[in-house]
Amino acid sequence: MSSIKPVIRIKDLVAKYGDLTILKGITVDIMPHEITVILGSSGCGKTTLLKNMLRLYEPFAGSVHFWDENVLEMNEKEFDEVLKKTGMLFQGGALLNSISIYDNVSIPLEMHTNLDKDLMDKIIKVKLKLVGLSHAMHKLPAELSGGMRKRASLARAMALDPEILFFDEPTAGLDPITSESLDALILTLKKQLNMTFVIVTHELASIHRIADKIIFLDSGEMLFCGTLKEAEKAGIPQMDRFFKVGKF
């Protein structure tokens, strides 16, 4: 077991917005080929954690290692290489609104590969088919429902076959059936492509289906990190409440 190295190592990560400290020193390892779920109440800093480890905001202090290299010490070019191996699904989808979802998926391919048009087209169509959007590929993001937008965004995040995918509440706002099929897709990707996932979610059903590890955040601190079974036995009041209330 111990021979497997973590893909991401976060150490004493402190995040602030201005004077407001959101994360007060998070230390955690993300293991490869696992689905790590980040849990916590609304506003506790889950999105902030994702954004800080990916340098969408510069962390105030601490270190973040991806594949054993501290990304906070990298220059932009070096970090670009890390970003190409990761993808992220934002809470609101964050598709480029002025172009079709086909074009949205094509952007990473156009910008970072030298594929010819035909190959690119094939890749884009496969990715859109995977998320069940073949029929809507020439629509603009504004013409899609919230769930479709999230799926389109997933197709875009997968365009370059990343090794790590970050999801910010992928199933929030989706009906149970769509959300289950999204979970199934995540499990398939993990199994077939050996991908690593870091997922923020609130949905208990989803957690039971997919989570290998759970990280529980509360008011800027990490209260727990371990498997679901351990989580249920850990006896951390805030987390127990989370599981109990969620059941109904």
Minimum distance from CB of 192 to Mg ion (Å)?
29
Q: Which of positions 83-142 make contact with ligand ATP (CB under 6 A)?
A: 91
Q: What is the DSSP string of 156-208?
A: HHTTT--SEEEEESSSTTS-HHHHHHHHHHHHHHHHHH--EEEEE---HHHHH
Question: Closer CB to ligand ATP, residue 56 or residue 99?
Answer: 56
Minimum distance from CB of 242 to Mg ion (Å)?
16
Radius of gyration for the alpha carbons in the chain, expressed in angstroms and rounded: 18
* Residue 43 touches which of Mg ion, ligand ATP, another protein, none (Cβ within 5-8 Å per kind): ligand ATP
153 is an interface residue for Mg ion by CB under 5 A: no
Minimum distance from CB of 74 to another protein (Å)?
12
Q: Which of positions 202-221 make contact with ligand ATP (CB under 6 A)?
A: none
Name the site residues for another protein (rule: CB under 8 A). Answer: 19-21, 51, 54-56, 76, 80-81, 83-84, 86-88, 90-92, 94-97, 107-108, 110-112, 153, 156-157
Residue 118 backbone zone (phi > 0: left; psi -120 to 50: alpha; other: beta): alpha
Residues 6+ apart with CB under 8 A from 168: 46, 47, 50, 88, 89, 90, 91, 200
Which positions touch Mg ion (CB under 5 A)? 47
